[in-house]
Chains A and B, each alone.
Chain A
Amino acid sequence: MPDPIVDVHQLRKTYRSLSLTGRRRIDAVRGVSLQAFPGEVFGLLGPNGAGKTTLIKMLLGVVKPSGGHARLLGQPIGSSAARSRVGYLPESLRVDRHHTARSALRYYGRMSGMTSAEIHSRSDELLKLVGLEGRDRESVRRFSKGMYQRLGLAQALLHDPDLLVLDEPTDGLDPVGRNEVRKVIDRLREGGKTIFLNSHILQEVEMVCTRVAILAKGEIKAIGPIDELAHRDQQKLIVEVLGDAEPDWQAIFGDSLTVDIESTRVRDAFRLSIAVVDQDQINAIVDQLRRFDQSIARLEVRRESLEETFMRLVGTDSVEEVAGEEVAGEEVLS
């Protein structure tokens, strides 16, 4: 096992404030431990207020931990040595309005200690990579949010960091832009970079991340490869059978299966949802339906999506946080 790039142990952060109503204490992060390894795309998931941003801020040295310890690239978090090898794309990048894309890259490059020549050669390459080629002399005042994100990604990559911390990297991008960002991330991963990704878009995380950690109320609820978290061995068979009257399921499947059958009327058919464990069981169910001359209109094997995993782990408190995202992990037969 190689040395972890991100190595977090029992990291805690407590915010304290004093107001007229008394002292307040908020435990934003409660003893988080995680590790991200070289070449890994590590996703950080969690509802708002889960402590994701606080955790990233602590890793970048923006916020000081209240307890625990962590290292980036073998260096203590917050140290200049650690920060010099990290590229960061903030969630809502704000670039001063007097800049152009190129002058902004020059500014941030100098902040990272790069020489003018280095900045110049890298800028051309990165502007092309993020699709801002030809618009590099344009004032950022005229930039859309998506262009800002592209510029942010370019500046994060400018000094060729070993670790990239991307906070909602596809926020504001159109589908084409998102695809391009995904490609960039894939390419970087192939190049051996480690990426620490914070995103609300579960599909995106599912597509690019090798491992994820799910945070809720300041604690890690689950961590590991997505397949392990999603309980992929547990699946359901959805079958729609045409007919005006509901068939006698007990007669078809016998006593053994009927306890797991959920039947609902869907337009001119009846939909069955049956918990299955393997393909033999699916084949047996289909054979049985056909033996009783049932006409199958639709058949689908459904596994647990990341969203469902997320919901299962985080609970109903955060439904609104992830609603509206695309359903992941569907395999459809029709």
Chain B
Amino acid sequence: MIKPYLAVIADSFHSALASRILWIAMVAIWIFLAALAPIGYHEDYTTTFRWFDLDNGTQMKAMLARGLVDPKESETALGRLARTFPEDIQRKLRQVARGEDVRIDKGALADSLNESLDNEDWYDAEAWRTTVRLRELRELDEIPDDEISEPERRRRARLRIEAALPGVFTAMSARSITLSYAGFDFPAFFLIGKEQFVSLINQFVVPIMMDWLLGFALIFLGILVTASIIPDMLQPGSLHLLLSKPISRTMLLLSKFIGGCAFVFLCVSQLVIGLWLISGFRLDIWNARVLWCIPVAVFLFAVFFSVSLLAGLRWRSPILSIGVTCMFGAFVLVIGLIGGYFDALVRSPDRISQMSFDGQDIVIATRGGELKRFDNDSNQWADVIEGDFRRRDLIVPPVRIAPGKIATARIRGGRFNLYGSGSLDLLVLDRSKDWKPNPGLRLPNGTRRLLVVGNRMIAFNNTGLMATTIEQVLDESGIDDDEPDQTSDDRTTESGSESDNQPEAEDGSPSIEVSKIGVTAWITDLIRMQGGATEAFRVILPKGVTLTDPVRLDVLPDGRSLVVYARGRLMRMELPGGGDDAQRKTATLAADLMLDDNDAARATMAAAGQSVLLARADEPVRWYQADTLALLAEFPAPKDRTVVAAEGLGATDRFALLTTDGSVRIATRSGDRVEWGTLPQSEVTAIKYDQQSGRLAIAHHIDSIDFVAIGPDATASATIQRAVRPSLTSWRSVDRYVITPLRTLTPQTGELSQTVAALVSGKTSFAIGDVANEEQEVVQLKIVRPVASCSLFLAVMLTLSCVYFARRDF
């Protein structure tokens, strides 16, 4: 029964093989593969500095300037390193020290550091003893000089430089990949290890290849070649003979359709298998899942070919078939682009990233850099601080500091440069003043997180932790004095001015205190410039502790302890309290734990009850006892997913985990076993535990929030006690009622590359972006939607074609 149709399919293969265009395409593919074959790579230690490794140029300038001019730094690691820079840079650094606005090219700084890698005359073991050395550096330091290899020596030199300039460099992988071609190294290299290199290939290179090479070039070529199949079949001398045979018209058409895919199958198979062999033999990446590209590419072609098929049946003209198919492709592309713009400009900026609560009032920060509050009367989010798309401001996550008071800050251009431009003022939102922002205390430069612990506000930046009192925050904000509202732009603060309440530093770390001991005012400026203490904020980081990215912080429910994770080091710090402890100025390191494995990995941490939970990328989630940091349990993250946010549920020893798939799981521990249940909310973008109400706030579907009470038996008793469902803004309405239906009805061919990425990488979602950022950008690969929409479209087109062909008189 099926023999005649197999004959049609086989005939299509013969036809494809007889096509000159196929052979031209094949030769082109072989040439491409041959050109690609000499590619290779090798993994090295990460040694060379590049300009973008310098995470914070402002801080680096300030530190080096201080190292040059501060007599106290002359024999420290900082001072010794600063003197290795070329004379012209040293001259500029001295200008910086004098308070002049000097621009120093990051590339020049990086070049100078690279020269320092070759000659380690600047190194002095004694000077470096006081620096915070990472585990890797300590291990390399133990290798005798006569036994250390040159790559290891250069790596050690780099780590010594990083130790001398803490907080300046972006967290980087210890290994880097250098690509080579025919034995010659490419000048650029990737600052990633092999595992990340494989992920990069699977998650980005393969989808791009799918988009351009398979999704565009070969598909277009395939449409050109196959457009004549149906018109040719409809020629009277051919069609009438075929229809006179004892076969079904529908099956004949479907066989022709399948056969038409033969061309693309032959080309794609060669290309993908060739690429797979090259990646296997040359890059040592034997990922058989790459072969998924073949069926997906053929499927993608089938979607376009179904349009060509119907057009060919209707008009019997190859030119018209090609024209209609190209128009369809353009339509799909335009819809995809419009959808993408709506995602980027309408949906994504409105997505909730941070939340803060005061009773029934809700203040949120969005991905678009806006601060909003929920207006119950209008049932809409009202702007508190408007975002600027071009400037890319960064909103410091808002925190409740007192009843009716929420504090935050806006770093101008903070998404480009954490230190922003201009001064950084704390903004206090007051309910009694309709939540308008009131500028308050000057925050340490580069502050990216505020925490409230007891009556203290703690600011965290690259330099460390600094604290002030809530009373001072409120006093400085002028709220209680009923001062007229001002914006931070209007406020002017004199640099270097001293206040009566000057903080102190007892560990020699940067502090305004230095001005008290007679050092000139420019050092104060330098300290402030590099993110050191200000008039109000004093350093509380214990001596000998440096926070190197990635850093995560949380407050234990006891209100006295802080849990800090910093690049492979987990610490519990006790903050100075009252009574006997009142004289102590800095926090005490109460527990300290060094972790193995990849210390530069993306991490998430939370504290609850007597527990601390730490989730690092590609590692099991670990559950620690808060006091001792003893490991209590270790459990794998949900399959193919990464934890992107964690919240401790108050004093209950339970955690809410937000994973890359946009769902929330509640983890509870029983002995060394951890159980978790998933809450029903989907498309979750942020979670926050509301200490006041004891409810977990779950932000989902862009700007909706559910306040969920988690009962004793976790998810089973979770109930939504309040649901915030804001009315749609005009653009959001357009998105929901126009763009979304259009996207739903249009086959999402462009998104099939995401399907490929998921199939090839074996992951459906992953986090990207700077590991230092607490807010992780999550990429959720769409697998079902593009396949479903394309399958539906394909089914509709084939049904229409079959009905037309079966009913039509030819």
Interface residues in chain A, defined as those with a beta carbon under 8 Å from any beta carbon in chain B:
15, 57, 60-64, 80-81, 83-84, 86, 88, 90-99, 103, 107-108, 110-113, 152, 155, 165
Contacts and interface: CB of A to CB of B under 8 A. Distances in A.
A99 B10 CA distance: 12
Contacts of A61: 243-244
A91 B236 CA distance: 9
B18 interface: yes
Contact of A96 (B6, B15, B248): B15
Nearest to B243: A62
A96 B232 contact: yes
Contact of B246 (A80, A93, A95, A99): A80
B42 interface: no
Contact of A111 (B236, B237, B247): B247
Contacts of B11: 96, 107
A98 B241 contact: no
A86 B244 contact: yes
B7 A90 contact: no
Interface string B398-427: 000000000000000000000000000000
B238 A98 contact: no
B809 A62 contact: yes
Nearest to A85: B246
B240 A108 contact: no
B639 interface: no
Nearest to B245: A111
Contacts of B8: 111
A84 B4 CA distance: 12
Interface string B227-264: 00000100111111111111110000000000000000
Interface of B: 3-4, 6-8, 11, 14-15, 17-18, 232, 235-248, 809-810
Contacts of A83: 244-246
Given A96-B15, A107-B11, A110-B4, A62 B244 contact: yes
Nearest to A86: B244
Nearest to B3: A110
A92 B7 contact: no
Contacts of B18: 97-98
A90 B236 CA distance: 8
A15 to B, nearest CB: 7
Contacts, number: 80
B236 A92 contact: yes
B746 to A, nearest CB: 29
Closest 5 pairs between A and B when the two form their complex, measured CB to CB = A98-B18, A94-B237, A110-B7, A84-B246, A88-B244
Contacts of A152: 241
B4 A113 contact: yes
A97 B241 CA distance: 16
Contact of A90 (B6, B240, B809): B240
Contacts of A111: 4, 7-8, 242, 245, 247
Given A94-B235, A110-B4, 6 more contacts: A15-B809, A60-B244, A83-B244, A112-B245, A112-B246, A165-B244
A113 B18 CA distance: 25
A96 B17 CA distance: 13
* Candidate in B241, B244, B247 with the most chain A CB atoms within 10 angstroms: B244
B810 A63 contact: yes
Contact of B14 (A15, A80, A98, A113): A98
Contacts of B240: 57, 60, 62, 88, 90
Contacts of B7: 107, 110-111
A208 to B, nearest CB: 22
Contacts of A15: 809
Contacts of A80: 246-248
Contacts of A110: 3-4, 6-7
Contacts of A81: 246
B119 to A, nearest CB: 71
A291 to B, nearest CB: 63
A91 B239 CA distance: 12
B237 A91 contact: yes
A57 B15 CA distance: 27
A83 B240 CA distance: 12
A257 B810 CA distance: 58
Nearest to A103: B14
Contacts of A88: 240-241, 244
A112 to B, nearest CB: 6
A62 B239 CA distance: 9
9 contacts: A57-B809, A61-B243, A62-B239, A62-B244, A88-B240, A88-B244, A107-B11, A110-B6, A112-B4
